[in-house]
Amino acid sequence: MEIKELFKFLPFMCAGEIHVLDKNGNKIKTYVFSDKNASNQLDCLSRFSKAVATVDASLREGETTSGTVSYLP
């Protein structure tokens, strides 16, 4: 299911995914992010950035993150 499809069913408007990648760029884990308290696009991005930083803090050597976030008013 795409992120835009999720917005049809869920009460929040800020959602995305954070992917953990190994040193070769292969996806090894995905975290689903959502925040119903984001009041605008900038607030959504700020909250997503904090979530990414939390994931980054737990990475092993050679791992990195990628991801996407969407805000629909």
**pTM score, two decimals?**
0.79
Percent of all residues in the chain with a pLDDT value above 90, rounded to a whole number: 77
Q: What is the DSSP string of the chain?
A: --HHHHTTTSS-SEEEEEEEE-TTS-EEEEEEEEETT--SHHHHHHHHHHHHHHHHTTPPTT-EEEEEEEE--
Q: Please give the single-letter amino acid code of residue 9.
A: F
Are the C-beta atoms of residues 1 and 55 closer than 8 Å to each other?
Answer: no
Q: What is the pLDDT of residue 5?
A: 57
Q: What is the pLDDT of residue 12?
A: 59
Each residue of 44-56: pLDDT tens digit?
999 999 999 999 9
Residues of the chain with pLDDT under 50: 1
